[in-house]
Amino acid sequence: MRVQGAVSALGLAEYCDVARALIAEAKQPWGKTMLRWWAAGLASVSPDEIDVITWVPASRSGRKLRGHDQGQVLAREVGRLLGRPARRAFRRADHQNQTGKSRYARLKGPNLETTARASGLRVLVIDDVHTTGTTVWSAVSLLGSTGAESVHVRVLTVVAESRGQADAAPTVARI
pLDDT tens digits, one per residue of 107-147: 556 678 888 889 999 999 999 888 888 889 989 999 999 99
Q: Does domain 8-166 have CATH number 2.60.40?
A: no
Angle between helices 32-44 and 70-82 (to 10 degrees): 50
Distance (Å) of CA 122 to CA 22, 58, 105: 30, 23, 31
User: Could you read off the pLDDT of 7-55 as tens digits, one per residue?
Assistant: 999 999 998 889 889 888 888 888 888 999 999 999 999 999 999 999 9
What pLDDT is stored for residue 120 in this prediction?
A: 95
Q: How much is the average pLDDT of 83-96? A: 85
What's the rounded Cα separation, in Å, for the pair 46 and 152? 8
**pTM for the whole structure:** 0.83
Q: Which residues pair with 156 in a beta bridge?
A: none
Q: Give the number of other Cβ atoms within 10 Å of residue 121's Cβ.
A: 20
For the chain, the domains span: 8-166
What's the rounded Cα separation, in Å, for the pair 47 and 7? 10
